[in-house]
């Protein structure tokens, strides 16, 4: 099998690359512009006959055609993600996420390939009908608030996937990831909350918790996300489906911060509360709770998450600490 992984030098994408490279007979192509991805994540594959890296823009037609040529499966992970991006550069979020997905769908059609699309729990918006089922209605705020541009771009992408399936019979699967974390995730201001907290603690600074800290999320360790993604690639039952991928155990953001401090062994770094505006400005709205239904993943993929949050955070913190000791920016 020949695979194209867009965003394959990124956090989730590089783990998918590792898994696919382990299987005998696979050929793997990575397309990444390295805007957030890192060549370090895939450097151990350089020089292998069955591996190819192409630095380029997923929205560029010629580059996408070159990367996808002869592929049987396209795993489309490339996107502009991170809440800070939503509120600082919504135009880039909308452009890359919609144009890039359309380009990859067209290449999947051209090559008669299966496309697996990495979507997000953000698609649900601020729905309070929990747990969130894949057929649940979306509830969003006004378009005047930039915070909703990412959710809208990914929902548009999902519509594109189904439109290509309807018109061309294209085998597509949509995975809605819920707060995936783990080694290789970025820790800068544009990263997810786990990475942001870990970087601050490594620097000897307390985690800054927005609002009252009682908002909740469900955190999914990378190995669980990877297992679900590989199952979705392999199983015909996943074709034409949207599937939630996430833990269904709620954790408040304050609890998360406290767990990361415990994992670090630095008890003096007590988390501090700050207003949302101090970090995001005024163009942001938070969601109080976000909990997935994972019944569909159990049924179609025979998948349930296995790694508890305490264990996952400890492993992740150890990776961040080691990366910093080796002089790698996190």
Residue 181 near residue 221 (C-beta atoms within 8 A): yes
Annotated catalytic residue within 11, 86, 124, 150: 150
For residue 138, how many C-alpha atoms fall within 13 Å in the half-sphere facing its CB? 16
150 part of the active site: yes
Burial class from Cβ neighbours inside 10 Å (0-12, 13-18, 19+) for residue 39 reads: middle
Q: What is the dihedral of CA 288, 289, 290, 291, to 10 degrees?
A: 180
- Tell me the CA end-to-end span of the chain in Å, nearest whole number: 34
Neighbour count for residue 142 (Cβ, 10 Å):
8
Cα dist from 263 to 206, 208, 235, 258, whole Å: 13, 16, 37, 9
Q: What is the dihedral of CA 149, 146, 33, 231, to 10 degrees?
A: -40
Q: What are phi and psi of 234, to 5 degrees?
A: -85, -30
Residues belonging to the active site: 150
């Amino acid at each position: 099998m020949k695979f194209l992984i867009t965003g394959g030098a990124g956090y989730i994408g590089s783990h998918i690359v590792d898994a696919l490279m382990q299987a005998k007979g696979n050929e793997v192509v990575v397309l990444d512009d390295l805007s957030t991805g890192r060549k370090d994540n895939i450097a151990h594959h350089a020089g292998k006959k069955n591996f190819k890296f192409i630095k380029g823009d997923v929205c560029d037609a010629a580059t996408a055609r070159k990367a996808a040529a002869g592929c049987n499966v396209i795993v489309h992970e490339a996107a502009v993600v991170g809440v800070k991006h939503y509120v600082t550069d919504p135009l880039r979020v909308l452009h890359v996420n919609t144009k890039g997905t359309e380009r990859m769908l067209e290449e999947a059609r051209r090559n008669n390939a299966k496309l697996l699309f990495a979507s997000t729990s953000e698609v649900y918006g601020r729905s309070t009908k929990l747990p969130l089922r894949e057929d649940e209605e979306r509830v969003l705020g006004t378009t005047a608030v930039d915070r909703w541009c990412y959710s809208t771009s990914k929902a548009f992408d999902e519509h594109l996937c189904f439109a290509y399936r309807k018109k061309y019979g294209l085998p597509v699967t949509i995975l809605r990831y819920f707060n995936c974390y783990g080694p290789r995730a970025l820790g800068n201001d544009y990263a997810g909350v786990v990475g942001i907290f870990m970087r601050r603690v490594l620097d000897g600074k307390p985690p800054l918790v927005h609002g009252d800290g009682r908002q909740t999320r469900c955190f999914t360790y990378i190995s669980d996300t990877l297992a679900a993604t590989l199952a979705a690639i392999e199983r015909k039952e996943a074709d034409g489906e949207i599937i939630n991928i996430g833990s269904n155990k709620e954790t408040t953001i304050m609890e998360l911060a406290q767990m990361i401090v415990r994992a670090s062994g630095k008890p003096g770094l007590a988390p501090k509360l700050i207003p949302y505006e101090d970090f995001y400005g005024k163009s942001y709205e938070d969601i109080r709770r976000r909990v997935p239904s994972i019944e569909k993943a159990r049924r179609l993929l025979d998948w349930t998450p296995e790694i508890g949050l305490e264990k996952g955070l400890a492993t992740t913190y150890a990776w961040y600490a080691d990366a910093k000791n080796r002089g790698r920016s996190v």
